[in-house]
Amino acid sequence: MASSTMGELNRSYWNANADSVFKQEWVQALTRQITDYIQSHVDWIGVTPATAGAPVTMLDYACGNGVASMALAPYVTTIRGIDVSDSMVKAYNDGARMQGLPEQQMHAVQGDLMVPPEKIPKALKREDLYGFDIIVMSMALHHVEDPQLMTTSLVERLRDGGSILIIDWAPSASKEQETHHHHEHGGGRQQEVHSAKQTMSRSGFDEEEMVKILKQAGCSEADYVFHREHSKLPSKFGGEKQLFFARGKKYFKMADTNVLSKRMSKSVASMLPHIAATIAERTSKGPAKIDLGTAENWLLRPELLEICKDAIAQNLTAEEFSYPRGFGGDPKVLEALASFFNSYFYPSVPVQPDHVVVTPGVSSCLDTLLYNICDEGDSVLVPAPYWSGFDHHFHFRSSVTVIPVYTSTSHLSPTSSQSQRGHLTASLTSSLIPALTHAYSSNESPARIKALILTNPHNPLSLCYPPSVLRQCMSWCQKRGIHFVSDEMYALSEIAAQYGDMNEAVVPFVSALKVAGMKAEDLEGELLLPTEEMAEVDRSKVHVVWGMSKDFGSSGIRLGCIITQSNPALRTGIALLNSTTVSSLPSLFTATLLTSRRLPALLALNTARLTTAFSILRTHLQRWDVKFIPPTAGLYVFAKLGKNIKTQEGEDEMVRSLKREGVLVAGGKSFKVRIIEGKGWVRIVFSVPEEVLLEGLRRVERCLFAGSRVSSQKGGEEEEEVCGFERGCQRGRISDLGLQLKYDAALFMDSFGENLPTD
């Protein structure tokens, strides 16, 4: 346990200097820096105006005269301060009264949390000094003998999910600066310089140390950001220093994992930080955020809602209240799915109802598939970039590890934007084959690699694999006796080709169900495998998964399925794990939708709306001069919003900045993007209501591209295109309107039992 010596030194020093310290110009300038930063980053800190909702409580530890408290006073309802110095406590309380803040709203007491527990006074054990929403320690951690113990003591006084904000100095860049310290507050006399230096334990904290301190103190996440401007200090104190702001979120308390099985306790323990961060985000008191990070399709919701209501009104019977019929799924939904795949996925071997097993979503599909084909500790290959959620979902129950497969692109420069795109998309070319071989052969236990899993169309690139690449992957897997799994959940989320002068070669979606029957001579594109290795595919190890969540915007109606055409034992195993997990209502809705005469027009309408939404986003990206990968199929665009960002730290800060502005995107780190592919990439979802997309893009522009303009030369004068993106929207709306009319006509015809027109 740390002694109280440092606390006593600080108490003595600050009692003597409390009246003079904040009168110095450089200290006043520093106060303004801290205040301005706090008030412009309240969302990131985790507070909102006190009038916005529930009470917000704050502790200002080492509160001084109340700089942090005054900065956050408009955003919290109750503030408590603690300081080792009696004189500082008096200055704090006097300042609060001068501002008209009553004692019940803002009040400080004298005390030191660094003394042994048995010596902590009763005044610091009051109930109102625990359970804070936010705790701030400003410019004081370097005055503490044990920063880890100090931070842990503060985090213990937070509510679960509460925030702690540490403001302090980053380490000086030079040894010369390290020999001075900024907290000489006594008029510059040498003796007082010596006294001030005695009150500090160090000159600053770097990011690695601060993040470690916060996480060991019980925080589920920790951020560390610099103030963009250096602080000006007198030359005898180093001349310049840089502030940092470190924020942590306290873990939500959960059940002791010791009561769980060894298998599950590992999974729960590994996910605690992520769960706590997610809960904290969802329960935060901040303003509503525009979510352009979650891949959900909102564009068909009005039509889907109508179909779902009709399905229940017309088809719901007493039978739906019983246990599900059939094995592997309700017979009606299995028949509907088989017919759907035969109509839209063009399988080389027709899909039969008994080839399909339904599950509560695609994630469950993959989970139960891996549980059947893998043992604990086995691995699967996944080409990068990929959605990093696979890492967690594959590990939860099946204890399967993902091996990222990075495709070599040594012929490309690592610097240019075009080359960065080449690095990102290389895994969709035949270059994937040697990359798979390298990942397989260099693994310590290649015999424990049980599958190759692709997402086609790709997440996050929204591009499709050429059939030649898919077919070679199947043969590559067959030679090694491993399974080929194609996740095709975005298969029908097509975006109409309209790239103009981008000169993009559009590769359309082709299902693995079709590719499995292709011969080498049927394939276009480069083939790296010898023809003799391209023999007939063993369909018992080729599997396709699909679900309702993306193509039909129904992520809350949990229904996915696996199609495996020559492996009855596997189908049985998956069916056993899912026999009662899919309820009657999702099956009823799915069967009704997939057998509806409206379906062709609905899919066309989906394409039109996705294309319109993309055109809105595309015009903004072009206006901002942002590089992006034009999508073929999907709900999002992968774009390099951070045009000049070259480090992971820069990308993380950009994503945080957007979050503070109230818009959420998924950074490239979430998809295993490496430095060679470039940093600053994000996935931007555009399949949201138009007004939501436009507001999200306004926030992005305000945060990253303030002042950007669209200009053109007209009549010798430069004019701003006030609503350039709206022209693209209007063009998109024309085709959208046409398909809406076709869809409405389909509804009319369907009511009379007529067939839809083929065009």
- For 180, which DSSP code? S
Query: Under a CB-based contact definition with an 8 Å cutoff, are residues 473 and 436 in contact?
Result: yes
Query: What are the b/e assignments for 370-379, b being 16+ CB within 10 Å?
Result: bbbbbeeebb
| 68-84: pLDDT as tens digits | 999 999 889 999 999 99
How high is the mean pLDDT in each 10-residue block of the chain (759 residues)? 63 81 85 92 74 77 94 92 94 93 93 86 89 93 91 92 92 52 43 59 87 89 87 76 91 69 74 62 64 94 90 86 86 96 97 96 94 95 94 88 84 45 84 95 95 97 96 95 97 79 73 93 79 83 96 91 96 91 89 93 95 96 95 96 90 89 92 86 96 96 75 34 32 40 39 34
Write down the pLDDT at residue 707: 64
Query: Of 279, 137, 147, 163, nearest to 219 (Cα)?
Result: 163
CA distance 50 to 47: 8
Write down the pLDDT at residue 747: 38
Beta-strand runs (E) in 29-77: 57-61
Question: Which H or E element spans position 191?
Answer: helix 190-198
Q: What are phi and psi of 163, to 5 degrees?
A: -110, 145
Longest Cα separation, the chain: 97
Query: Under a CB-based contact definition with an 8 Å cutoff, are residues 527 and 520 in contact?
Result: yes
With a pLDDT cut of 90, the percent of the chain lying above it is 54
Query: Under a CB-based contact definition with an 8 Å cutoff, are residues 286 and 46 in contact?
Result: yes
Write down the pLDDT at residue 288: 74
DSSP 3-state assignment of 38?
A: helix
From residue 273, how far is each of 12, 31, 133, 207, 252 by CA, in Å? 40, 33, 18, 19, 9
CA distance 471 to 454: 12
* Percent helix, strand and coil across the chain, each to the nearest 5: 45, 15, 40
Angle made by CA atoms 459, 460, 463, in degrees to the nearest 5: 70
Query: What are the b/e assignments for 576-593, b being 16+ CB within 10 Å?
Result: ebbeeebbbebbbbbbbb
Write down the pLDDT at residue 240: 84
Write down the pLDDT at residue 729: 34
Write down the pLDDT at residue 138: 94
- Domains in the chain and their CATH numbers? 5-257 (3.40.50.150), 290-296+602-745 (3.90.1150.10), 333-596 (3.40.640.10)
Write down the pLDDT at residue 552: 93
Write down the pLDDT at residue 282: 59
CA distance 657 to 318: 53
CA distance 81 to 58: 8
Query: Of 496, 469, 441, 462, nearest to 613 (Cα)?
Result: 496
Write down the pLDDT at residue 274: 63
